[in-house]
Amino acid sequence: MYTEKVLDHFQHPRNMGEIEGYNGMGMVGNAKCGDIMQMFIRVNDEGIIEDVGFKTFGCGAAVATSSMATEMIKGKSVDEALQLSNAAVVEALEGLPPVKIHCSVLAEEAVKAAVEDYRKRMAEKKESENKD
Amino acid sequence: MKRVYLDNAATTKLIPEVLEAMMPYMTEIYGNPSSPHYFGQQSGMAVDKARQQVADAIGAEAGEIIFTSGGSEADNTAIRGIAERYAKKGKHIITTAVEHHAVLHTCQYLEKHGYEVTYLPVDEYGLVTVDQVREAIRPDTILVTIMFANNEVGTIMPIPEIGALCREKGIFFHTDAVQAVGHVRIDVKEMNIDMLSMSAHKFHGPKGIGALYVRKGIIVPPLIYGGAQERNRRAGTENVPGIVGMGRAIELACENLDEKAAKMMLLRDKLIREIPARIPEVKLNGHPTKRLPNNVNYSIKYIEGESILLMLDLNGIAASSGSACTSGSLDPSHVLLAMGLTHEVAHGSVRMTLCDETTEEDIDYVLEVLPKVAERLRKMSPLYHG
Ligand SMILES: Cc1ncc(COP(=O)(O)O)c(C=O)c1O
Ligand code: FES
C-alpha cells in the first residue's frame, strides 16, 4: 500500500525530534482522524531555516510526510517554506494511497504554523526592542 | 526474516487436512448436487456429510443448517429474514453497540425501512448484561441479536442467560458466533439459541463459505432467490468444495477443543501479563477472563495503531488495530469507543489473535519487538513526555 520511499521515511525518519534553540514551533491536529503533528524550526538572521525537527502522532503516511517536509524546507528561506504544498510532498514520496492524502495536508499545515509562530516571535521581539 | 501471524481473527490458514478433504471436489467429484446422476449424487452425499459435521459441532440437527457464503450472509439472512417474516408481530429489534458491521449495518438498513432498533450500550469490558436485555424488551420486540464473542476485544457475552430470557419471553434469539465457533464449546439447545452465524475461514476452513443455524420450526425467508437448494432457504448451486472443507474444518476444530484452547490461553495470558511489565502506560481492552482464548488487545498510550502495525510488520509480525488511521472511514473502532475509550487511547490499540499453531517462541519474539516499537514511536510522539 505504501511506496518504498514512504516506508524508507517511516523507518528512518529524517530530522525527528525537538531541536535545540528553535524560534518557531507549530502544532496542528487532523480533524479527520485525530492525529497531531509538531514542527520545530530554527531560522537564522538571514531568514534561512537552519534546522528543523518534527514529532508526529499518526499513521505511517503522517510520519513519512513530516519527515519529507522537513527535508524539503531545511536550508530554505521561510518564504520558500511557505510555498511548500502537500502535493509536492506527496510527489516527493512517489505517491500516497487516496485515503492518506489528508495526512500530507497536516505536514503542510505544520510547516505554515511553525513559520507563523516564528514571525509572531520576531514581531514581538522587535516590538520589545523598540520599547527599549 | 522470522514471520509471526497474529491476525487469526481476520482470517486463518487453511490446514492441509482440510485442503485434502476438499481437493477431490474440485477435480473428480464435480457434479451438481441437484443432479440425479452419479456425479451429482456423489457431491450431494458430501454436502450431506458436511451438514452433519457442522450440526454436530454445535448440538444442532443437520436440517437446521443452511450453508451461506460466509458470516456476513448468515447475519443478513437471519436478521432481514426474521424482520420480514415477523413484521406483523412487531418491528423492534434489540442488539448491542459492539456488533460486527454485518449486523450493525443490517440493522441500520432496517431502521430506514420502518423498524426500530435498540443498541444496548456495553460496560468498560464490552459486556452487556441479561438485565439490560430484559429491560429493553417491548411487546413488539421480535428479535434479539447479540454476538457470542467480540471480534476486536474477544469479550464473551452471557449467551446462555440471554438465550434463556428470550426463550421465556418468546422472542427469537440470534447470535453472531463467527469468532466463537471452534474456540468455545457451543450447544445451541442447551444455550437456547434460535439462530447462529458462523464462517469457515475463521477456524482454518476455506474463505467464502459459512452457515446459519436456524432452529426447527422457525421460518427464515431466503435472501437469495432462484432455486430449491438448501431446502428453498438459499438459492444457488452449492459451493461443494467449500462446504466439504467447512465440515472437515469444524470437525477438526472441535476435536480436543479444550486442550487447544488451554494452550492458546497460556500464551494469551503470557502476553497479557508481560506487555504491561515491559511497556509502561498500556491498557488491556476487553474482559480479563471472559474473553476468547486467542485474543489479546492492548492500547499503547501516546502512539498510533497503524504506525505500530507497520513497524511490527517490518519486523515480521502481523497484527491488527482499531485505530482511525487503519479504517477506510478514518473513524476509530466503534467497539472501543462504545467501551468508553477516548479517541486517543482507541488510536493506540493493537489486536493480536493467536491460533493453536502459535508457539511460545512466537510470543517471546513479540515481547522482544513490541517494547522497542513502542519506545521508538513514543520518541516520535508529541503527546509523550516520558
Ligand atoms: C463477528 C463477525 N461477524 C461476521 C463476520 C463476517 O464474516 P465473513 O467474512 O465470513 O463474511 C466477521 C468476520 O470478520 C466477524 O468477525
Ligand atoms: S494520520 Fe491518521 S490516517 Fe494518516
On average, the pLDDT of chain A sits at: 94
Q: Which residues contact B88 (CB under 8 A, 6 or more apart)?
A: none
Catalytic residue among B107, B166, B254, B325: B325
Phi-psi group of B230: left, alpha or beta (phi > 0 → left; psi -120 to 50 → alpha; rest → beta) = left
The residue whose CA is least distant from atom 2 of ligand 2 is: B325
Q: Cβ contacts (< 8 Å) between A27 and chain B: which residues?
A: 382
Q: Tell me if B307 and A38 make a contact (CB, 8 A cut-off).
A: no
Query: Are the beta carbons of B253 and B204 closer than 8 angstroms?
Result: yes
Please tell me the predicted confidence (pLDDT) of residue B385. Answer: 83
- For ligand 2, the distance from its centroid to the CA atom of residue B334, given in whole angstroms, is 17
Q: Tell me if A27 and B380 make a contact (CB, 8 A cut-off).
A: no
Q: Tell me if A36 and B383 make a contact (CB, 8 A cut-off).
A: yes
Instruction: Examine the pLDDT at A131 and tell me if it is beyond 90.
Output: no
Is the shortest distance between the CB of B341 and ligand 1 below 6 Å? no
Q: Cβ contacts (< 8 Å) between B382 and chain A: which residues?
A: 27, 36-38, 55-57
Query: Are the beta carbons of B354 and B267 closer than 8 angstroms?
Result: yes
CA nearest A16 in B: which residue?
B380
**A57 CB near a chain B CB, below 8 Å?**
yes
CB-neighbour burial class of residue A67 (10 A; exposed 0-12, middle 13-18, buried 19+) = buried
Q: What is the mean pLDDT of each run of 10 residues along chain B (386 residues)?
A: 96 98 96 96 97 98 98 98 97 98 98 98 98 98 98 98 98 98 97 98 98 97 94 95 98 96 98 98 97 98 96 97 86 95 93 97 98 97 87
CA distance A9 to chain B (A): 12
Q: Strand, helix or coil at B112? A: coil
Please tell me the predicted confidence (pLDDT) of residue A130. Answer: 84
Confidence of residue A57 (pLDDT cuts 50, 70, 90): very high
Please tell me the predicted confidence (pLDDT) of residue B386. Answer: 67
Catalytic residue among A25, A81, A103, A110: A103
Query: Are the beta carbons of B312 and B372 closer than 8 angstroms?
Result: no
CA distance B307 to chain A (A): 5
Please tell me the predicted confidence (pLDDT) of residue A28. Answer: 95
Strand B4-5 relative to strand A49-57: parallel, antiparallel, unpaired?
unpaired
Confidence of residue A129 (pLDDT cuts 50, 70, 90): confident
Question: In the 8-state DSSP scheme, what is residue B383?
Answer: T
Query: Are the beta carbons of B37 and B226 closer than 8 angstroms?
Result: no
Is the shortest distance between the CB of B179 and ligand 1 below 6 Å? yes
Q: Which residues contact B26 (CB under 8 A, 6 or more apart)?
A: B241
Q: Which residues contact B32 (CB under 8 A, 6 or more apart)?
A: B39, B40, B43, B237
Q: Tell me if A58 and B344 make a contact (CB, 8 A cut-off).
A: no
Backbone CA torsion sign across B66, B255, B205, B181: positive
- For ligand 2, the distance from its centroid to the CA atom of residue A5, given in whole angstroms, is 17
Please tell me the predicted confidence (pLDDT) of residue B327. Answer: 82
Start-to-end CA span in chain B (Å): 32
Please tell me the predicted confidence (pLDDT) of residue A9. Answer: 97
Is the shortest distance between the CB of B210 and ligand 1 below 6 Å? yes
Catalytic residue among A33, A59, A88, A92: A33
- For ligand 1, the distance from its centroid to the CA atom of residue B9, given in whole angstroms, is 9
Query: Are the beta carbons of B225 and B204 closer than 8 angstroms?
Result: no
Give me the residue from B324, B343, B380 closest to A55, CB to CB. Answer: B380
Exposure on the CB side of residue A72, measured as CA atoms within 13 A = 25
The residue whose CA is least distant from atom 4 of ligand 1 is: B71
The single residue listed with the C-alpha cell 502512539 is: B303
Is the shortest distance between the CB of B102 and ligand 1 below 6 Å? yes
Please tell me the predicted confidence (pLDDT) of residue A128. Answer: 87
Instruction: Examine the pLDDT at A32 and tell me if it is beyond 80.
Output: no
Q: Which residues contact A8 (CB under 8 A, 6 or more apart)?
A: none
Q: Give dist(CA B75, CA B335) in Å, integer.
A: 18
Report in angstroms the alpha-carbon separations of B137 from A23, A75, B41, B102.
Answer: 62, 68, 47, 22
Q: Cβ contacts (< 8 Å) between A25 and chain B: which residues?
A: none
Is A59 among the residues known to form the active site? no
How does pLDDT run across A2-12, given as a tens digit for each residue?
Answer: 999 999 999 99
Q: Give dist(CA B206, CA B22) in Å, integer.
A: 9
Report in angstroms the alpha-carbon separations of B143 from B68, B94, B136, B181, B262.
Answer: 21, 6, 11, 21, 34
Q: Which atom belonging to ligand 2 lies closest to the Cα atom of A58?
A: 1
Using alpha carbons, select from B272, B236, B248 the residue that is nearest to residue B363: B272
Is the shortest distance between the CB of B353 and ligand 1 below 6 Å? no
Length of chain A: 132
Please tell me the predicted confidence (pLDDT) of residue A31. Answer: 67
Which residues approach ligand 2 with their CB closer than 6 A? A 30, 33, 35, 58-59, 61-62, 100, 103; B 324-325, 330
Phi-psi group of B303: left, alpha or beta (phi > 0 → left; psi -120 to 50 → alpha; rest → beta) = beta
Q: Give dist(CA B107, CA B176) in Å, integer.
A: 13
Interface predicted TM-score (ipTM) over 0.90:
yes
Pocket test for ligand 1, best of B151, B153, B174, B178 (most atoms within 8 A of CB): B178
Phi, then psi, of A41 in degrees rounded to 5 = -130, 145
Please tell me the predicted confidence (pLDDT) of residue A1. Answer: 86
- For ligand 1, the distance from its centroid to the CA atom of residue B145, given in whole angstroms, is 15
The residue whose CA is least distant from atom 3 of ligand 2 is: B325
- For ligand 2, the distance from its centroid to the CA atom of residue A60, given in whole angstroms, is 7
